[in-house]
Amino acid sequence: MQNSTTLISSPLGVLAVLIFVAAFFFLLEQTSKARLFQYVPPLLFIYATPVFLNNLDIIPSSSPVYSGLSAFALPAFIVLMLIKVNVPAVVRVMGKGVLVMLMGTAGVMVGAVVAYVIVHGSLSEDAWKGYGALAGSWIGGTANMAATAEMLGTSEEQFGLAVIADNVVYIVWLPLLLMSRDFAGRFNRWARVPDDRLASMDAAAELHDEEDFPPTMPHYLFIFAVAIGVTWAGTTAAPGVAGWIASSAPELGAVFSVTTVRILLVTTIALVLSASPVSRLPNTTALGTALIYVFVAGMGARASVAGLAEAPMFVLGAFIWIFIHGLFCLAGAWLFRVDVHTVAIASAANIGAAASAPIVAAHHRSSLVPASILMALLGYAMGNYLAPMTGHLARIAAGQ
């Protein structure tokens, strides 16, 4: 129900505000070149600004726009992000680095459970859903954070806590990943890295040339057809699949809701399409990312400032969590004898996703920038499956 006391209440006006907020902070980042955005990504501002616009009664906390974003924008950006996943290419270039990333992913899952058990007593009863959303970001990226929040029914306030924790940890973790390059020699000796590993990675990276070309009008029609078609297929099939699960295994009915099944179906169909010529459609990642930021702005527009009071304990848990992730990455480096450059990229592909992995790769070894993006997309592929599971594991471990 719309709030008639708000300055802007029409759905078209609300959508315009959300898009303007998302566009404004990227414009500010590009035109100002402020160092602030190197450590605090626009995502935080894009979420926080609508929170205050809502609480100041400039836009409503309830609008058809928000449900429309969940129904249409969310599955569409999942499709657009995942059809570019190229698992064979990242394995060819990064080799055992993929195993280190998987170790880092395991560290995210274990770290979430351990951290939540430690701090949950100081958090709301539903904070496990916020931890599940943050696990989505740290396994894959912002798209997975949004999708996991939708699957778990994460409140806007808990989603906001996840966004805050994500960005606070990022401010600390990204510089550590960048500085690790200075210890490459000692690290590689400790990890017993083979002498030819770096040379072989560079050679594989040169062989992998990702085709890129400007999209034409027919390309955009194909992209819309794929995104909307997969969204329709997943949405149509979800009630039947969810009903079958509930009747076959009643104890799983609450976990595999219609919303959860819809997103998992869309994710699976998109990953199948990533092995088809559809993956060669240009500009899909950029379009998907734009939709993600508008969706995040919509999440912020529904949140209450009062709900963010738990931030200190939530963030403390996130630091415990990232420490455990780091230990798993180090264990992976030693087990698989992988260099520090690959380890830093693998961690960035988890924690910072496609926004941070190329930054870390460019600082460590510029030849690995394309592979770092592919590795981040691999995280996107796993996030929608593993992050909701992580949230539920945290809940079970805490006895909730």
Q: pLDDT category, 202, cuts 50, 70, 90?
A: low
At 328-354, the pLDDT tens digits run 999 999 999 988 988 999 999 898 777
pLDDT of 268 higher than 50: yes
pLDDT for position 356? 81
pLDDT for position 209? 52
pLDDT (mean) for 386-391: 95
Which tokens in the block code for residue 256? Answer: 């595999």
Three-state secondary structure call for residue 338: coil
Q: Which of 10-14, 181-185, 254-258, 282-286 has the highest mean pLDDT?
A: 10-14
**CB distance 361 to 93 below 8 Å:** no
pLDDT for position 174? 86
CATH 1.20.1530 fits 11-198+260-397, yes or no: yes
pLDDT (mean) for 226-241: 94
Nearest to 131 by CA among 115, 107, 147: 115
Residue type at position 79? V
Which tokens in the block code for residue 1? Answer: 């129900």
Q: Radius of gyration of the chain from Cα atoms?
A: 21
pLDDT of 213 higher than 80: no
Q: pLDDT category, 1, cuts 50, 70, 90?
A: very low
Q: pLDDT category, 171, cuts 50, 70, 90?
A: confident
pLDDT for position 206? 60
CA distance 288 to 271: 15
pLDDT of 276 higher than 70: yes
Average per-residue pLDDT in the chain? 88
- Residue entry with tokens 């939709």: 291
- Lowest mean pLDDT: which of 45-54, 107-116, 129-138, 388-397? 45-54
Residue type at position 301? A
Q: pLDDT category, 211, cuts 50, 70, 90?
A: low
At 124-139, the pLDDT tens digits run 999 999 999 999 999 9
pTM of the model: 0.86
Who wins on pLDDT, 25 or 193? 25
Q: pLDDT category, 82, cuts 50, 70, 90?
A: confident
Which tokens in the block code for residue 106? Answer: 């395991």
Three-state secondary structure call for residue 393: helix
